[in-house]
Amino acid sequence: MKNFLIFVTFLIITLSNISKVYSIEADVFVQSTVNRASEALNNKFSKKEKIEKLKQIASETVDIRGIGFYTLGVYRKNISNDQLKQYEKLFEQYFLKSFSSRLAEYSNPEIEVISKKKLNQNYTMVSSILVSTEQRPEVKVDWRIYTKNLENPKIRDLIIEGLSLARTQKEEFSSIIQSNDGDINALFAALIEFIKE
């Protein structure tokens, strides 16, 4: 019995250490993602190459599915499973296009991670600064990191100078649905049009 208890204790300690070894701190994750994006935005690449690289980085580091659900707001609960699947597919294409095209305009952005604040088990906010250039002043950028799975943290929102991109997108989507008498298909049509452009 004693040996069994020692074995179980040993197992627990070993497993907890394993999880510590593989967990990634939110601030380290943000800095490493920023470094990857910075490399992708290097002027040695063409705009098309930049966009492809940014899409790859976003697929790996951003919780696109989670943002899509958040962005749909209350409508998420009122649509069928088929519509939800269609939405997920469309949102992913929309997000990758919009995200990469927004970022591709920048060249070699320099971001410094300043601090982090754990909100709860699921979220940590990482504060950073986009260093000023001749053309624009310093910009504060906060990152909402989803940390439920510590081995695989994901970005869920960017808060630029206090303005949440996810919330802006949510209100944009909600406005389209409301302007069309609550018809979710109007949003799908707008997303398809954006993806095609």
- Residues near another protein (CB under 8 A) are 63, 65-66, 69-70, 73, 94, 98, 101-102, 105, 119, 122-123, 125, 134-137, 140, 142, 144, 146, 148-149, 152, 154, 156-157, 159, 161-164, 167-168, 171-176, 179, 190-191, 193-194
60 or 171: CB nearest another protein:
171
In whole angstroms, how close is the CB of 5 to another protein at the nearest point? 34
Q: How far is the CB of 32 from another protein (least distance, A)?
A: 19
Count of alpha carbons within 13 angstroms of residue 98, beta-carbon side: 15
DSSP 173-187: HHHHHHHTTT-HHHH
Min dist. Cβ of residue 49 to another protein (A): 20
Cα Rg of the chain, angstroms: 20
Q: Which of residues 59 and 175 has its CB atom nearest to another protein in the complex?
A: 175
Tell me the C-alpha to C-alpha distance, in Å, between residue 154 and each of 4, 30, 59, 160, 193. Answer: 39, 9, 10, 18, 28
Asked whether 157 and 140 are in contact (CB, 8 A), the reply is no
